[in-house]
Each structure stands twice: as structure tokens, then as C-alpha cells.
């Protein structure tokens, strides 16, 4: 993509998503993802009424006089965006592709975090880790993330959610807000989802197209699996074929919801041909 065209796309997304984050999401983001942890500030002499559980016994022993630890709310947060850039995200039959919606959602979330003076980082993944952008603050950093979301060309094609979650847990040690954006067309990631959810405030955003749910009855059609590249003919006029396809797809969704439920992970499902604003806002309020 030429630089001029890229900058035009970045600017278009910035204008749309920043307006949303400024006027709609920033308040909800701030109230539901404000700093919750407590960090050590200083030591002072014990005063009548202080909680004895806060006594610093090492300092007390050294000075032979009771001292307590003072803590303050840790206000600065880190947001991590775990972004699926596999081939299946390029699917879209109506208004936009799944990847385009993911880009918009990431921009809205990143600008909301920026308004709250929080850091934002990104992990792009397919069946491997494609790119890690460490958390930083500022508008220029958010715009860099948007540029990467628009023009990044992954090496892999498949989806390995478990590997992405494992990488997240290894590189981000501090408890963070994490949004995993994917169609979750994968299996066997519950274990690492549970580990990541215990360390971070994790939300899974499943992005899907309604055309993926059922096969239309349109006769003999050639299909290609975008992630494996395999090509085959499918008789969509067969009721059994359509039924098997629908069952397999529904099994993926049941698996996704079950994994989230068992790991204590919040989740939200968003359709590419419907506005996400109301759903995302209601999700924030529900939390």
C-alpha cells in the first residue's frame, strides 16, 4: 500500500474511532477499568487507629519503634490487544471483513485507554507470534498501532490462540486489561485462557460473519479453506452436508463459550454487519 493511501486510511479510522472513544466509551472505560491495585508508597510511624496488619516489622525492629506501610491506588494501567491476523479474518460477505472490524475496535479501545493516560500494547498472532508492540503511551504510539493493523502482512495463515495466550503471559508480567480479538476458530486453548485470565483482566471479543453460520443451498460449489489453502468441491444442495457444517460451526461456538465460562473470562460476540457501538457500551456498563 502506498504511503499516501495508508495515511488516508489511518486518518479515516482515527476520525471515526476517536469520536466514538471521546464521546461514548472513554467514560465507561474509565469507570470500569480504573486503577484497582495498591502499590507501596512510603513508611511512617504508627499512629493510634492504624491497622496493625500494615505494620512493617522489619523497619519496626530496626528503629525499635512501630512503623506502618502506606499504600496508594495504582492508577496507571496497561491495555494489551491480542489480535488474530490469520487468513480467516479476511472473510466478509456484506459491509466489511472481520479484520476491518477488528481494526476499528482496536482503535476505539486504544483511544479510550489513551484518554485515561494508560499504556497500550499489541500482540499480532496467527499460528505463530507475528508481532509484539510493547505497551507505551501517546497518540503517535496509538497511530502506529492503527497503521500496523491496516497494512501488516502476516507470515502464518492458521490460528493458534493457545500460543498467543502463552506468549502474553510470558511477556506481560504486570496485571493488565487484555482484549483478545478473534473469530476463535480454534480448539484446545482453555488451559492457557485460564492462566491468562487469572493474571489479567481478560475479555474475549469474538468477531463473526453471519454467512459463516450456515451453508446456503446453491448446489455444487468449490470452496477453499483460507487457513490451510486446501480446495474442494462441496454439494451444498445436500441437507446432510449443510447439517454437518452447521453442527461443526456450532460446536466451535459452544467450545468458545465453555472455555470462557470455565476460565472466568468475560466475552462478547460481535457481528461484522451490525453496529458494535451499543453492544460494546452495554458490555462496559454490565461489568
Domain residue limits, the chain: 3-33+76-286, 39-73
pTM of the model: 0.79
> Residue 279, class by beta-carbon neighbours within 10 Å (0-12 exposed, 13-18 middle, 19+ buried)?
middle
226-234 contacts at long range (C-beta below 8 A, 24 or more positions apart): 226/87, 226/88, 226/90, 226/91, 226/157, 227/86, 227/87, 227/88, 227/127, 227/157, 227/158, 227/159, 227/185, 228/157, 228/158, 229/157
CA distance linking residue 77 with residue 73, whole number of Å: 11
Q: Which three cell numbers stand for residue 109?
A: 479501545
Per-residue pLDDT tens over the stretch 137-160: 988 999 999 999 988 899 988 899
Tell me which fold the domain 3-33+76-286 belongs to.
Rossmann fold (3.40.50)
Per-residue pLDDT tens over the stretch 37-57: 555 567 888 888 788 888 889
The average confidence (pLDDT) of the chain is 85
Amino acid at each position: 500500500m502506498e504511503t499516501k493511501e495508508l495515511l488516508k486510511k489511518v486518518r479515516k479510522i482515527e476520525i471515526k474511532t476517536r469520536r466514538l472513544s471521546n464521546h461514548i466509551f472513554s467514560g465507561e472505560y474509565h469507570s470500569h477499568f480504573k486503577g484497582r491495585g495498591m502499590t507501596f508508597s512510603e513508611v511512617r510511624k504508627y499512629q493510634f487507629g492504624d491497622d496493625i496488619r500494615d505494620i512493617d516489622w522489619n523497619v519496626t525492629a530496626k528503629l525499635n519503634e512501630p512503623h506502618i506501610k502506606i499504600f496508594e491506588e495504582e492508577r496507571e494501567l496497561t491495555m494489551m490487544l491480542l489480535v488474530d491476523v490469520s487468513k480467516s479474518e479476511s472473510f466478509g460477505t456484506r459491509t466489511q471483513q472481520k479484520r476491518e472490524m477488528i481494526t476499528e475496535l482496536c482503535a476505539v479501545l486504544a483511544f479510550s485507554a489513551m484518554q485515561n493516560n494508560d499504556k497500550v500494547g499489541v500482540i499480532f498472532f496467527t499460528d505463530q507470534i507475528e508481532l509484539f508492540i510493547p505497551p507505551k503511551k501517546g497518540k503517535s504510539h496509538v497511530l502506529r498501532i492503527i497503521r500496523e493493523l491496516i497494512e501488516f502482512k502476516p507470515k502464518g495463515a492458521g490460528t493458534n490462540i493457545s500460543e498467543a495466550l502463552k506468549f502474553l503471559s510470558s511477556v506481560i508480567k504486570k496485571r493488565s486489561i487484555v482484549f483478545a480479538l478473534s473469530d476463535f476458530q480454534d480448539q484446545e486453548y482453555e488451559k492457557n485462557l485460564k492462566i491468562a485470565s487469572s493474571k489479567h483482566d481478560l475479555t474475549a471479543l469474538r468477531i463473526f460473519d453471519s454467512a459463516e453460520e450456515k451453508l446456503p443451498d446453491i448446489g455444487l460449489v468449490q470452496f477453499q479453506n483460507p487457513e490451510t489453502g486446501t480446495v474442494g468441491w462441496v454439494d451444498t444442495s445436500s441437507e446432510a452436508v449443510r447439517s454437518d457444517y452447521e453442527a461443526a460451526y456450532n460446536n466451535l461456538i459452544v467450545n468458545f463459550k465453555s472455555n470462557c465460562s470455565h476460565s472466568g473470562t468475560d466475552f462478547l460476540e460481535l457481528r461484522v454487519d451490525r453496529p458494535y457501538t451499543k453492544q460494546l457500551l452495554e458490555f462496559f456498563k454490565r461489568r
